[in-house]
Amino acid sequence: MTKSVRFDGIGITNGKVSGKIKIFRSYEGKNKGACVGSIEDEKQRLELARKSAIKETKALEEKALKVLGEKEAQIFEIHGMLLEDEDFLDAVYSEIDKGKSAQEAVTLTAKSYGEMLKALDDEYLSARCADINDIASQLIRFLTGDVDENEENDTEPYILVASDLTPSETVKLEASKILGFVTFGGTPSSHTAILARAMGIPALVGTGTIGEIYEGKYALLNAERGELIINPTKEQKSEFEKEQSAYNKIAKEHEMYLRSVMKKPAVTRSGHKIMIYANIGSDSEVASAISNGAEGIGLLRSEFLYLSRDKYPSEEELFSVYRDIAIKMQGKRVIIRTLDIGADKQIPYFSLPKEENPALGYRAIRICLDRQELFKTQLRAILRASAYGRVSVMLPMIISLEEIKEAKKLLDECMTELSTRGEGYDSKIELGIMIETPSSAIMSDTLAREVDFFSVGTNDLTQYTLAVDRQNPKVTHLCESNIEPIMRLIKMASEAIHHQGGWIGVCGEMAADLSLTQKFVDIGVDELSVSVPYLLGVRGKVSECK
């Protein structure tokens, strides 16, 4: 009889689901535990894996040619060439000769090639670095026999269990196959948790390690209780089912209440209007935002369009997504936050340097002001989309007036370039900044003179004010008990922006915390922007506020 095991974590969304466990292995994770045969064995295994990878790449190239077109198929042509590249293979063989397993040899070689390419600081070669990682990942899949792993060809939905999911891994998941997910690490304000909320599936973070032996085992995920029970006993299963049916009944009633809320205006009892906006990461969430009563998009996390790709999106690609969102929102405000990568949001083709303290390092506006062509490509795309709706630009991670001035200078340059090209745009486009650093809140009276609005990113503002790493479950509890300093900073910013005739919103996860809604109203917040599943709840709460 298999023993039942329980893992405790922090439930970041509600719900109870049961199903089989599927362990998600990231490329790095697969290499640990690699087996080492004799040098000849390892070389032979590598050769077999390489042959399979070449075959797969050819098939992918043909498919891409048919379905996507010549340009997209080129990627696989490059992969095919890399798999035949003698220098690369010699480097892998030489690692095997040193006693490394085939997996390790591939990983080490890919890493040193990546470092070498990055050091050249060339955009084209940086993109090749992502190709090297891709073929390394492909070879490892064949070497470990995990050929279909993480690919979405399972017919039955499952509970996904992962050590951690990077934001780019999370965006690539197919939500319809996932009953719920569990990560060993992570916190309620990590980007993975934010995405889980947007997907509206039960999720648990911070459970500690769950061994691979549980792959395929039946489990009960109870996000309310913050627990995952693997191999449940009959009693545990029947108790869970009872709780689940009670929960589903309440959830249904709540759903009905939320539908009734749709008819209520988002106005407090004293008649004060609060704008209820949606946080989204992609075009695909717009329809549900509208059907859940979003009065605008308060935060388009534009980096997710970069995270789900293998290379820099072009101005045209960005423009077409932004334009579609602007059109679908039919004149309602769409706030596009400019690229916010770095820290936990890493994109291989950006080749960002490895840093000791990435959250305090090269991220967001700092990257954009440094890599100006990249930034201007996005700004031009946003400006062009502004001809199709009510689009606003929002800058993340601002700490100083100089950053705003520099960004405005680049925005002006983009306007001039577009005028020269004869492209239309809104020359009075609204500009806002995120209040995510104590510095921006403290300097808000000065900063408010330069912008139309503020939007408070409480996830980062909390992290930087309380010195609490938003990725570290060991210190998460410090956030709940220290809300007052955050509220005081928001109040400062609120007074400053109102003094200049602008407005202020909150778009961090705190905006969805119903126990804080009244406080936000009291300190003058004009807008609350939350993930789609929380829109109606927040609207209902606002209508109950004084």
Q: Any idea which residue has 């077999």 for tokens?
A: 48
Binding mask 330-349 for ligand PEP (x = CB under 6 A): ----------x---------
Interacting residue with Mg ion among 206, 457, 473, 537 (CB under 5 A): 457
Q: Which is nearer to ligand PEP, 198 or 379 (CB)?
A: 198
Q: Which is nearer to Mg ion, 137 or 455 (CB)?
A: 455
129, 191, 414, 545: the catalytic one is: 191
Q: What part of residues 398-437 is at the interface with ligand PEP (CB under 6 A)?
A: 436
Residue 229 CB, nearest approach to ligand PEP (Å): 31
Interacting residue with Mg ion among 104, 227, 460, 526 (CB under 5 A): 460
Interacting residue with ligand PEP among 9, 457, 505, 533 (CB under 6 A): 457
Residue 299 CB, nearest approach to Mg ion (Å): 9
Binding mask 184-213 for ligand PEP (x = CB under 6 A): ----------x-------------------
Residue 20 CB, nearest approach to Mg ion (Å): 35
129, 414, 507, 545: the catalytic one is: 507
Interacting residue with ligand PEP among 42, 56, 430, 460 (CB under 6 A): 460
Q: Is there binding between residue 363 and ligand PEP (CB under 6 A)?
A: no
CA distance 467 to 487: 16
DSSP annotation string for 107-157: HHHHHHHHHHHHHTT-HHHHHHHHHHHHHHHHHHHHHHT-TTTT-S--SS-
DSSP annotation string for 69-106: -HHHHHHHHHHHHHHT-HHHHHHHHHHHHTT--HHHHH
CB atoms closer than 10 angstroms to residue 106: 28
CA distance 16 to 159: 11
186 binds, among Mg ion, ligand PEP, none (CB under 5 to 8 A by kind): none
440 binds, among ligand PEP, Mg ion, none (CB under 5 to 8 A by kind): none
Question: What HEC string does 404-458 produce?
Answer: HHHHHHHHHHHHHHHHHHCCCCCCCCEEEEEECCHHHHHCHHHHHHHCCEEEECH
Q: Is 256 helix (H, G, I), strand (E, B) or coil?
A: helix
512 binds, among Mg ion, ligand PEP, none (CB under 5 to 8 A by kind): none
Residue 64 CB, nearest approach to ligand PEP (Å): 32
Asked if 479 and 460 count as a contact pair (C-beta separation under 8 A), the reply is no
Residue 506 CB, nearest approach to Mg ion (Å): 12
Residue 438 CB, nearest approach to ligand PEP (Å): 13
Please give the backbone phi and psi of residue 425, each rounded to the nearest 5 degrees, phi first. Answer: -165, 165
How are strands ordered across the β-sheet holding 178-183?
5-8, 227-230, 218-222, 16-24, 158-162, 178-183, 203-205, 10-11
Active site residue 507: yes
Question: Taking Cα atoms as reference points, which of 444, 468, 471 lies closest to residue 456?
Answer: 444
Q: Are strands 16-24 and 453-456 parallel, antiparallel or unpaired?
A: unpaired
Asked if 50 and 141 count as a contact pair (C-beta separation under 8 A), the reply is no
The stretch near ligand PEP (CB under 6 A) out of 47-55, 124-132, 166-174, 453-461 is 453-461
The stretch near ligand PEP (CB under 6 A) out of 15-23, 313-321, 354-362, 454-462 is 454-462
384 binds, among ligand PEP, Mg ion, none (CB under 5 to 8 A by kind): none
Cα–chain center distance at 217: 28
Residue 527 CB, nearest approach to ligand PEP (Å): 13
Active site residue 191: yes
> Residue 422, by phi and psi: left (phi above 0), alpha (psi -120 to 50) or beta?
left
Q: Is there binding between residue 459 and ligand PEP (CB under 6 A)?
A: yes
Cα–chain center distance at 516: 24
Which residues are paired to 273 by β-bridges?
267
Binding mask 428-447 for Mg ion (x = CB under 5 A): --------x-----------
Residue with the closest Cβ to Mg ion?
460
The stretch near Mg ion (CB under 5 A) out of 222-230, 460-468, 509-517, 522-530 is 460-468
CB atoms closer than 10 angstroms to residue 212: 12
Residue 245 CB, nearest approach to ligand PEP (Å): 35
Q: Which residues bind ligand PEP (CB under 6 A)?
A: 194, 299, 301, 340, 436, 457-460, 507-508
Which positions are catalytic?
191, 507
- Residues binding Mg ion (CB under 5 A): 436, 457, 460
